[in-house]
Amino acid sequence: MSTTDTRLSALEQRVQRLEDEQAIRKLHHAYGYYIDKCLYNEVVELFAEESEVRFMRGIFKGKAGARRLYIDRFQQNFTNGNNGPVFGFLLDHPQMQDIVTIDDSGTIGYGRFRCMMQAGRHISAGEKKQWWEGGQYENTYVKEDGVWKIKVLNYRPVWHATFEDGWAYTQPNYVPFFTEADLYPHSPLGPDAIDPDPVLWPDMDVVPFHYPHPVTGTPWQPA
Amino acid sequence: MSTTDTRLSALEQRVQRLEDEQAIRKLHHAYGYYIDKCLYNEVVELFAEESEVRFMRGIFKGKAGARRLYIDRFQQNFTNGNNGPVFGFLLDHPQMQDIVTIDDSGTIGYGRFRCMMQAGRHISAGEKKQWWEGGQYENTYVKEDGVWKIKVLNYRPVWHATFEDGWAYTQPNYVPFFTEADLYPHSPLGPDAIDPDPVLWPDMDVVPFHYPHPVTGTPWQPA
Amino acid sequence: MSTTDTRLSALEQRVQRLEDEQAIRKLHHAYGYYIDKCLYNEVVELFAEESEVRFMRGIFKGKAGARRLYIDRFQQNFTNGNNGPVFGFLLDHPQMQDIVTIDDSGTIGYGRFRCMMQAGRHISAGEKKQWWEGGQYENTYVKEDGVWKIKVLNYRPVWHATFEDGWAYTQPNYVPFFTEADLYPHSPLGPDAIDPDPVLWPDMDVVPFHYPHPVTGTPWQPA
């Protein structure tokens, strides 16, 4: 191959990498905008057929699992079956602090993100409720037929606080974790499996980093 | 055209696209940093001559309209005519969650962003006030002589909350919308036209997405 | 040089610029994730040997200075010497709103970022404490042997608020600034020098922008 060809090929690969990273950032940001507005149909369409959602120790498997969580569960509980926002119900998930990495195959990507939630119900819309939540994602993506999709959506809340009292007063296990007793299909809206890992504030842990240390290059190792 | 030329041209176009997206991200982030510090002169210079600001149902047209809003109105009301911050007055607008898209012409761009405001006045600086606000932008940009400028700044608050009480207690129409009675020049600092669209929390709506669904490619359609 | 070579070289330079900007964004976001989890060893490894941290009017010089601040001071005070998070102690630093610029040499970079902190101690983990803080960074980076590292980490808090009372009630000089009396080695964990610049809310100032105005191209000039 001529030098020109070599240089062109190297450039094409580098530009592809930059475009892929941008595509995954946008995919995750789009997820954030959809979930803010309870557009659960649009959320489910972001997933690959072979995928999973990890949420509150539950693992929902496949696009069917995502549908069970977002449509059968959230859309019923939060918006009375509407695909879209309802009066006085807030579930904002601003997304930030992306670190996206594409692996050598060019068809698998990883993304770490932060989210800071504002949520609740207005006094004129039912039982009043308002809370803050800080969380993080450590997700996996797959490129199929040239399109990036969510392979693993792994949401990990870090802290939770009522608007009134703050994170210093949060009850341990403030949202009940899914357990073996909640598994699908025994529980029709439950997860397919249990993820034993997550802890909740005031307990603390480190969600493993998909990337090595940016200066030393050392892969993440728990202490 | 030789294969080499074809490959070079394709790469040049792809790199241009990536650079344009970065330029628009930086333009919006720069807007955020200027507005935080009441640098209203700098904000106005971000706009194209043919442009508009949409704010609280008012449409301020042209760079002259931006000047009326930011300098004649905000600079007078917030900082006593100073171009810069003043003691005890806070108006922080952290910006995040960009989705930027360049159209096929390469001279029009679109950007969706989120913002989470902390604002108010310190007890030692006048009447005490403190509030949170979550909002979003769905903006348009234009490239003129190689420089990206704001074509449409469309800010849409999503929720508003006093620090003391939170979003569950927000009064409907917490900030009065501009109406036909406020139009310029009848009202010297008013908008040029009225945008009938926006709603305010606890009402909810979906600000149309400029981009199609990232996986299905379907353009946004309201339900 | 042939036209093809010229075009290839121009593209290589532009792609390098885009990659360098991404590398610095990721470096800063990685800093944010490490500091959230009190991974102070990992934080220190982000710094160049010739570097400094600016924090609360103290200037900590060199990687040794960073070690004194993060390990000898923070790790002792916050996590009892552990490299990692501890029960009931929160120090979240979500990062956002990057503006990264590479200079003409290609080996020096600048980054402006925002951060919005949630911090404190849970009632079951000692003395209860909870606060919000908004801040910004105006950092410098250096590329050594192909790897970007922090050259100057310049953190500037903008406002601080207890969760209970908010920013309207913040005491002036809410965190004591370092002074000449605190200098190292007289004070074993103190800074090497004093930065006279910073102010704290309710005082306000503008941290100079490393970049020119994105539309007019005018470099930042204080009023």
C168 DSSP assignment: G
Query: Could you write out the three-class secondary structure of B73-119?
Result: HHHHHHHCCCCCCCCCEEEECCEEEEEEEECCCCCEEEEEEEEEEEE
Percentage of residues in chain B having pLDDT higher than 90: 94
Mean pLDDT, residues B19-48 taken together: 98
Q: Distance, in angstroms, between B117 CA and closest chain C CA? A: 10
Average pLDDT of chain B is 96
Q: Distance, in angstroms, between A193 CA and closest chain B CA? A: 26
Query: How many whole angstroms separate alpha carbon A216 and alpha carbon C72?
Result: 21
Give every CB contact of residue B64 below 8 A, 6+ residues apart in sequence: none
Query: How many whole angstroms separate alpha carbon C189 and alpha carbon C72?
Result: 7
How many C-beta atoms lie closer than 10 Å to residue C49's C-beta? 10
Is C221 contained in some domain? no
Question: Are the C-beta atoms of residues C115 and C126 closer than 8 Å to each other?
Answer: no
**Chain C residues touching residue A134 (CB < 8 angstroms):** 92, 94, 118
Question: Are the C-beta atoms of residues B211 and A30 closer than 8 Å to each other?
Answer: yes
**Chain A residues touching residue C12 (CB < 8 angstroms):** 7, 11
Contact between chains at C203 and B45 (C-beta distance less than 8 A): no
Q: Residue B176: its pLDDT value, please?
A: 84
**pLDDT over 70 at B95, yes or no:** yes
Burial zone of A171 (CB within 10 Å; 0-12 exposed, 13-18 middle, 19+ buried)? exposed
Q: Residue B26: its pLDDT value, please?
A: 98
Query: How many whole angstroms separate alpha carbon C94 and alpha carbon C35?
Result: 10
Mean pLDDT, residues B97-119 taken together: 98
From the list B138, B103, B86, B123, the residue with the least C-alpha distance to B21 is B103
Q: Is C37 helix (H, G, I), strand (E, B) or coil?
A: coil
Is C201 contained in some domain? no
Average pLDDT of chain C is 96
Q: Residue B175: its pLDDT value, please?
A: 81
Mean pLDDT, residues A52-77 taken together: 97
Closest CB to C85 among A8, A114, A206: A206
Residue A16: CA atoms inside 13 Å, Cβ hemisphere, count? 17
Among A16, A114, A160, which would you mutate to test the C interface (most chain C Cβ atoms within 10 Å of its Cβ)? A114
**Region of residue C205 (phi > 0: left; psi between -120 and 50: alpha; otherwise: beta):** beta
pLDDT tens digit sequence for C174-209: 888 999 999 999 999 999 999 988 899 999 999 999
**Alpha helices by DSSP H, chain A:** 3-36, 40-44, 62-67, 76-79
Query: How many whole angstroms separate alpha carbon C195 and alpha carbon C61?
Result: 12
Mean pLDDT, residues C90-119 taken together: 98
**Chain C residues touching residue B83 (CB < 8 angstroms):** 223
Closest CB to B84 among C4, C134, C206: C206
Is C54 contained in some domain? yes
For residue B124, what is the domain's CATH number?
Answer: 3.10.450.50
Q: Is A107 helix (H, G, I), strand (E, B) or coil?
A: coil
Q: Residue C175: its pLDDT value, please?
A: 82
Domain that holds residue B26: 3-194
Q: Residue A1: its pLDDT value, please?
A: 61
pLDDT tens digit sequence for C7-60: 999 999 999 999 999 999 999 999 999 999 999 999 999 999 999 999 999 999
**pLDDT over 80 at B133, yes or no:** yes
**Chain C residues touching residue B4 (CB < 8 angstroms):** 4
Question: What's the N-to-C CA distance of chain A in angstroms?
Answer: 47
Query: How many whole angstroms separate alpha carbon A127 and alpha carbon A39?
Result: 23
Neighbouring chains of A at 3+ CB pairs within 8 Å?
B, C
ipTM (interface pTM): 0.97
**pLDDT over 80 at B223, yes or no:** no
Is A200 contained in some domain? no
**pLDDT over 90 at A56, yes or no:** yes
Closest CB to A85 among B161, B205, B215: B205
Contact between chains at A168 and C130 (C-beta distance less than 8 A): yes
Query: How many whole angstroms separate alpha carbon A131 and alpha carbon A174?
Result: 12
Domain count, chain A: 1
From the list A174, A118, A112, the residue with the least C-alpha distance to A141 is A112
Confidence of residue C1 (pLDDT cuts 50, 70, 90): low
Is C218 contained in some domain? no
Contact between chains at B168 and A121 (C-beta distance less than 8 A): yes
Q: Residue A222: its pLDDT value, please?
A: 83
**Chain B residues touching residue C3 (CB < 8 angstroms):** none
pLDDT tens digit sequence for B168-186: 999 988 888 999 999 999 9
CA B147 to chain CA centroid, Å, is 18
Is A42 contained in some domain? yes
pLDDT tens digit sequence for A127-181: 999 999 999 999 999 999 999 999 999 999 999 999 999 999 999 888 889 999 9
Burial zone of C62 (CB within 10 Å; 0-12 exposed, 13-18 middle, 19+ buried)? middle
Strand pairing category for C129-144 and C147-162: antiparallel
Q: Which structure tokens are listed for A72?
A: 């059968």
**Chain C residues touching residue A109 (CB < 8 angstroms):** none
Integer angstrom CA distances of residue A97 from A28, A30, B212, C95: 11, 15, 24, 5
pTM above 0.95, yes or no: yes
Is A219 contained in some domain? no
* Residue C95, beta-bridge partner list: C115
Give every CB contact of residue B57 below 8 A, 6+ residues apart in sequence: B177, B178, B179, B191, B194, B195, B196, B197, B198
Is C175 contained in some domain? yes
- Look up residue C85 and give its amino acid: P
Query: How many whole angstroms separate alpha carbon C39 and alpha carbon C33?
Result: 9
Contact between chains at B116 and A94 (C-beta distance less than 8 A): yes
Residue B44: CA atoms inside 13 Å, Cβ hemisphere, count? 21
Nearest CA in chain A to B3: A5
